[in-house]
Amino acid sequence: MDTLAHSLLSKLLSAAEMCNAGRRSRQAALTESTLAEYRGFSSLPKKESFEETMRAARAEGAVELVWDGKKSGEGFIKRINLVDRRNLAAFLGIRLSDDKVDEAREHLQPFVADYPVLEEVIDRWKKLRKVRSLGPEKYQDWMDAIRTIVACQNAPSTQTMSLPVRKFSSQLFKDSKRIEKLIAPLDVLLVGGLDGDIRPESGVLQELGLFREEHPARLAGNVIIERERVTACLDQPYSGLPAQTVLRLASTPSMVMTIENLTTFHSEARQRCDENVLLIYTAGMPSPAWRAMYRRLLGSLSNDVPLYHWGDVDEGGFRIAATLASDANSAGYKLLPWKMHPDDVPKNVRRKATQHTLAQIRHFSAVAGWSELGDAISEAEFVVEQESL
C-alpha cells in the first residue's frame, strides 16, 4: 500500500470518526489542498502507486474518486469522498472507535452499578475523548484498578496499617509496579468523577492504605496519648506516630480538630502545642489505618468534647470532610466545620468555582451534615485552599 495514500486515507477515516461522534459537521473528504503533495508529483511511478491504492479503496466501497478530467483516471485525483466508514477502516486494517468502545463497555458494564463514573468514562470515549490519557483500548487498566480497590477494601491488613504498594501489587498481579501504573483510573474511581483536581500518586495510594514511602500520623497539643509501648504527652510542636500504635487518649482535650493541609497543621501546631487541644493532620484523604486510629481516639473521648475539621473549600476538601463526618458519626459525634464559611474567607484569596465543582461541594457537604455551609459556598461561587488563609 502506498505510504502517502495510506496516510491520507487514515486522515479521512479520522475525520469520518469525528463526524460520527458529532464533533465535526463538515462531510469527511480529502480536498485538493489535502492532496497537494500527490498532485505535485512529477514522477509517474509515484503517481501511479498513489492512484493504485486509491482505486483499491474505491473497489472496496470505501471512497469515491473525483478526477480533473471528465473520465476516470484522466489527470489527477482532485477530491476523495468518503463512501463507507466501516469499509474504509477494514481496508486500512484499523479498528473503528465504535468497536473499541463497545468492547470496553462489554467488559466494564458489570462494574457500573458499583462505580457509576464508568458511564461518564464510556460516554467520553464515545465522543473520541480520552480520560486521563486513557482510551477505550485501555479498559483492562480500569478493570485492574477496580480489582485493586476491592482487594484493598477486603484486606484486613490495609484497614489497620498501611502496606508497601509494590509488595501488595506483586501479591495481587505478580507485577510489583502494576498498581503504580493505575493511578489515573484509581483516582477517578475513588473520587467518582472526571472533573475534579488530579491528585498526586501519594494521595491516591494513601486512600487505599498503600504507600511507596510510609509517613507517620502527625498529632499536636498538650494531651496524653496511650500507645502500644508508652503513654505520654505529645512532643512540641507535634509528634509523628505510626497510626496503628495509637490506642486512645489518656487525657481529655477541650477540642479535637483535624486539619487537611500540612502547612496549616504546622502553623497551628506551633501556636497551640501547649494548649489542651488535639490537632491531627489528615494528609489529604486519610488512609484506612489513619481512620481506624481516629475512631479509636474518638472512642476514648467524653461526648461533650467538640469535634472540628478544617479543610480546603473545594470538592476534594468536602469529600474528605464527608469521610471524616462518617467516622465521627459512627463514634457518636457530629463533626463541625472550622473556618470554612464564606464569612471566614477574604474575597481576595477566592477563586471562581465551576458549576460542577459547586454541585459536588453541595453533595459532599450534605453527606457531612453541613448542607447550610454547602449552600452558602455555592451562593458565593468560590473555592480556596487552606494555605491561602
Looking at the DSSP assignment, which residues form a beta bridge with residue 240?
218
What span, in angstroms and rounded, lies between the C-alpha atoms of 238 and 280?
A: 9
Identify the segments of the chain with pLDDT beneath 50.
Answer: none
The residue type of 230 is V
**Selection from 18, 21, 50, 13 nearest residue 35 by Cα:** 50
Strand pairing report for 246-249 and 224-227: antiparallel
Per-residue DSSP letter, 21? T
Residue given cell 467538640 in the structure block: 306
Q: Which pairs from 198-202 meet CB under 8 Å and 24+ separation?
A: 198/132, 199/284, 199/285, 199/316
Q: How many CB atoms lie within 10 A of CB 370?
A: 26
**Selection from 197, 194, 221 nearest residue 385 by Cα:** 197
Q: For residue 130, give Cα distances in angstroms to 43, 77, 183, 293, 321.
A: 41, 35, 15, 39, 30
Q: In what order do the strands lie in the sheet with 29-30?
A: 29-30, 77-82, 63-67
pLDDT score of 289: 92
Cβ atoms of 204 and 137 within 8 Å: the answer is: no
pLDDT score of 389: 64
Cβ atoms of 173 and 179 within 8 Å: the answer is: yes
pLDDT score of 214: 82
**Selection from 58, 133, 141, 70 nearest residue 107 by Cα:** 141
